A and B are shown apart, each in its own frame.
Chain A
Amino acid sequence: EVQLVESGGGLVQPGGSLRLSCAASGFTFSSYWMSWVRQAPGKGLEWLANIKPDGSEKYYVDSVKGRFTISRDNAENSLHLQINSLRAEDTAVYFCARRVSSLKVFDHWGQGTLVTVSS
Chain B
Amino acid sequence: QTVVTQEPSVSVSPGGTVTLTCGLSSGSVSTSYYPSWYQQTPGQAPRTLIYSTNTRSSGVPDRFSGSILGNKAALTITGAQTDDESDYYCVFYMGSGISMFGGGTKLTVL
Name A's B-contacting residues (CB within 8 A).
Answer: 35, 37, 44-47, 50, 57, 59, 61, 95, 100, 103-112
A44→B52 contact, CB < 8 A? no
> Which A-chain residue is minimally distant from B34 (CB atoms)?
A104
Contact of B51 among A104, A110, A111 (CB under 8 A): A104
A57→B99 contact, CB < 8 A? no
A37, B104: Cα distance in complex, Å = 14
> Which B-chain residue is minimally distant from A111 (CB atoms)?
B45
A50→B97 contact, CB < 8 A? yes
A104→B45 contact, CB < 8 A? no
Q: A44-B101, A45-B38 are in contact. Are A107 and B46 (CB under 8 A)?
A: no
> Which B-chain residue is minimally distant from A105 (CB atoms)?
B51
Q: A111-B45, A112-B45 are in contact. Are A104 and B101 (CB under 8 A)?
A: no
Size class of B's contact patch?
20 to 34
B34→A105 contact, CB < 8 A? yes
Given A104-B52, A107-B51, 10 more pairs with CB closer than 8 A: A44-B104, A45-B104, A57-B97, A61-B98, A95-B46, A104-B36, A105-B34, A105-B52, A107-B48, A109-B46
> Which A-chain residue is minimally distant from B37 (CB atoms)?
A105
- List, sorted by A's number, 16 A–B pairs whose CB atoms are closer than 8 Å: A35-B99, A37-B46, A44-B89, A44-B101, A44-B103, A45-B101, A59-B97, A103-B52, A103-B55, A104-B36, A105-B36, A105-B48, A105-B52, A106-B38, A106-B48, A109-B47
A104→B46 contact, CB < 8 A? no
Q: A35-B99, A105-B36, A106-B38 are in contact. Are A45 and B89 (CB under 8 A)?
A: yes
A100, B34: Cα distance in complex, Å = 12
Residues of A contacting B: mostly: strand
A106, B48: Cα distance in complex, Å = 7
Q: Which residues on A sit within 8 Å (CB–CB) of B104? A: 44-45
Smallest CB separation, B32 vs chain A (Å): 10
A101, B45: Cα distance in complex, Å = 20
Q: Which residues on A sit within 8 Å (CB–CB) of B87? A: 44
A100, B103: Cα distance in complex, Å = 22
